[in-house]
Chain A
């Protein structure tokens, strides 16, 4: 993986020293809060409900064991012994003190990390396929370009005060595991007819108040022109994006106001004006970065293991883990292993310092020193030998990290919601916990099959509810928490925004409503091969609406009074 060179190190340390000076001046009163706020946000330090929260960047979701240990040490020393992995492959510390922030930033710099550009109207941390470099269906490794984009976008003087925040995702595989169509710019590595690799550029995707699936800006961009072309896109947005209205300031609104054809015309015109050679990456530098991402030299290991086969027969929990949490690696003797931070009843995405240390130890011993973070709030060990899986699994059991539910209904995404977040309207975590408890039986969850269930505590959609096969959005209805359900969303190649199924539910009724949706799916599907999403596309929203809202249907849900039913039915 990429290691900071002397330039990166000097830059991050100079920013750490600058931030220490800013915090010192704030604490003695030389800077007012008004002056200081943008400075702390540029370094990822937010004020949340109970405390300051520090968001640390994990570039394209890649960590070394040493970096994960550094995060564990920060959790232990400066937080309450845990961290929260986010839906943008970052980590947040929920209980930090302003006075400690400079020491935390120094500790990050010591491990080659920082919190720069994890907030503010700038290009945020670039996200990528968590299986990058190892997936069997990959065309080229997107981490190389993730690193190129990290260097290009860090402190880029032209793009630090954009109309609004800006998120880029990149995937190099046939299957989209990075939700590229829900980003301001989505990049797909594709192969041209002549065999060369380049990029499909998608623009204007995003969730939030006005969700859009990204549209194709260019079907093929030769790889050497990525930076000059993105520079042109950013310039058109920076000049024409709306700065007068917070809710209309994202690039998706500009793209849809102009239309994709006019937006493309402006980008191409700007691109013609740009001196490509001054911006595009020199081949030698691309080569240097590429070398940082060569596959570690993996010893040849047997593709099958009698011990694994025996354990799968003897231990149903291990068998479920194998089936749900491991995926083919490009080398036959290895598997990609997902550590789901989704033990039913616990907080999605949270990991204790001890768990982070345990994963770091496993990465060193069995995983060639690499850990990935997924936007679905899980961790990945990208190279685990098939024969080592029983040992790794046993260590995960000891650390409480063996939830065998990757990709199932209980592997749900949830934002911090009103338990932590200053923007939230409703709680997400208790809802996630209750739904996960309902479907905690792995056999039942497995019988339901592949299903993405996503929960956001407000319309900003950090919990990706629009892209959930089942999406849940928390709303404030006259001072009480209610939850609106959407169906049919998808984050993948077939990206789609979910449709609202009907009036919202009170918190206590929501798990029953989800049960009703699942029962409807199970009753209608053509066998277990028909996933929830496939069935939804076949039958549409009507049977689900009927199951939830037909005469008497809601009344059968517990806790609901007739009066509440009448009130809800009257709502638009």
Chain B
């Protein structure tokens, strides 16, 4: 199982994901998947620095499966967050 790291942007609260180039983006498809513990620790450290720099808040890892290399969240909650809107 793969993971990505998500957070909310400090100023707006919007849902963001860490992309491979180190930026925080809205599109979950652009998130950087991590496949092992070592890379999980690495992306968590990047997130911690982004928290310290006041870009994001509340980062955490999300379980995903990869479809054509793109991360798709497993839980209903993360599917809803990734849409940036309620299902209704």
B is a partner of A: yes
Q: Which residues does A use to contact B, with CB under 8 Å?
A: 26-29, 33, 47-52, 96-99, 347, 418-420, 424, 426-427, 429-430, 433, 476, 479-481
Q: Which one of B11-19, B29-37, B38-46, B64-72 is at the interface?
A: B11-19
- B77 adjacent to A47 (CB under 8 Å): no
Q: Closest CB of chain A to B83's CB: distance in Å?
A: 9
Residues on the A chain within 8 Å of B58, using CB: 33, 47
CA distance A36 to B13 in the complex (A): 14
Residues on the A chain within 8 Å of B21, using CB: none
CA distance A52 to B11 in the complex (A): 9
Residues on the A chain within 8 Å of B51, using CB: 33
**Given A47-B57, A420-B86, do A27 and B10 touch, yes or no (CB 8 Å)?**
yes
> Chain B's interface: helix, strand, loop or mixed, by majority?
loop
**Given A49-B81, A418-B76, A419-B80, do A27 and B88 touch, yes or no (CB 8 Å)?**
no
- B12 adjacent to A418 (CB under 8 Å): no
Whose C-beta in chain B lies nearest to the C-beta of A417? Answer: B86
Can you add 17 more A-B contacts, CB < 8 Å, to A27-B10, A99-B11, A479-B74? Answer: A26-B10, A28-B54, A47-B57, A49-B15, A49-B80, A49-B81, A50-B13, A50-B15, A51-B13, A98-B11, A98-B12, A418-B76, A419-B86, A419-B87, A424-B77, A429-B86, A429-B88
Residues on the B chain within 8 Å of A476, using CB: 76
CA distance A433 to B8 in the complex (A): 29
CA distance A51 to B14 in the complex (A): 5
CA distance A49 to B15 in the complex (A): 8
B23 at interface, CB cutoff 8 A: no
Residues on the A chain within 8 Å of B13, using CB: 47-48, 50-52, 96-98
Residues on the B chain within 8 Å of A418, using CB: 76-77, 80
Whose C-beta in chain A lies nearest to the C-beta of B86? Answer: A419
| Across the A-B interface, the 3 shortest Cβ-Cβ residue pairs | A419-B86, A52-B13, A51-B13
Q: Which residues does B use to contact A, with CB under 8 Å?
A: 8, 10-15, 51, 53-54, 57-58, 74-77, 80-81, 84-88
Q: Could you name 18 residue pairs across A and B whose Cβ atoms are closer than 8 Å?
A: A28-B54, A33-B10, A33-B51, A49-B81, A50-B13, A50-B15, A50-B84, A51-B12, A97-B11, A98-B11, A98-B12, A99-B11, A99-B12, A419-B87, A419-B88, A430-B87, A430-B88, A481-B76
Q: Closest CB of chain A to B7's CB: distance in Å?
A: 10
Whose C-beta in chain A lies nearest to the C-beta of B57? Answer: A33
CA distance A96 to B10 in the complex (A): 12
CA distance A298 to B54 in the complex (A): 56
Residues on the B chain within 8 Å of A26, using CB: 10, 54
- B12 adjacent to A97 (CB under 8 Å): yes
CA distance A481 to B75 in the complex (A): 10
CA distance A26 to B77 in the complex (A): 28
Residues on the B chain within 8 Å of A96, using CB: 13
CA distance A480 to B79 in the complex (A): 12
Residues on the B chain within 8 Å of A48, using CB: 13
Residue in A28, A97, A433 with the greatest tally of chain B CB atoms within 10 Å: A97
CA distance A419 to B85 in the complex (A): 8
CA distance A9 to B51 in the complex (A): 36
Q: Closest CB of chain B to A258's CB: distance in Å?
A: 38
- A27 adjacent to B75 (CB under 8 Å): no
CA distance A418 to B88 in the complex (A): 11
- B75 adjacent to A479 (CB under 8 Å): yes
**Given A97-B11, A98-B12, do A29 and B54 touch, yes or no (CB 8 Å)?**
yes
